[in-house]
Structure 1
């Protein structure tokens, strides 16, 4: 087989592969429905409380508050200048809920959680 014949065979094989690939791709798209994709980052986080003392809960709440508020800024739901305010307010509200749960004895319940959100 000469090099010209090899090249012609290779080109023909590549052409067939491209044609088959295009037909397979077109066939895959027939049964596909629309997908709705939201580009928003989560602005709500659940912090589990089971088996944690106040220091650990306070640390996790601080991290979660920063996370949800930064996401709110990224989503343009909140101005960058309000980031610290949001984070502090979310922390305070979550810790008030935690203190209320401790006072009512709710931490003995199965899998108690606090939900933080950027509001």
Structure 2
């Protein structure tokens, strides 16, 4: 399971290394001007937050993909165990709906407004 990143701890993880960035900018960058310090600070913090959010999103995607693979495996295993063969089930375009009473249906994503 992925580690939760708070904004406080995330500053270390996703935050920019300003000293290193400044060195790169001075040696390889093209100077375009100067911002007021308050604006520069706000933009740097926004960049840090975006970096942190990108890390969190990537972790969630990775976790989702793992759970989805497990879900597909469990569906296949469970249906085989009970001798159900669903030729029409394609998880890319259809959903398997399971009622509280155990009845199952295969429904097109388009009928469920799933994108």
TM-score by length of 1: 0.29
Higher helix content, 1 or 2: 1
TM-score by length of 2: 0.29
Greater RCO (Cα-Cα under 8 Å, separation 6 or more): 1
**Larger-gyration structure (1/2):** 1
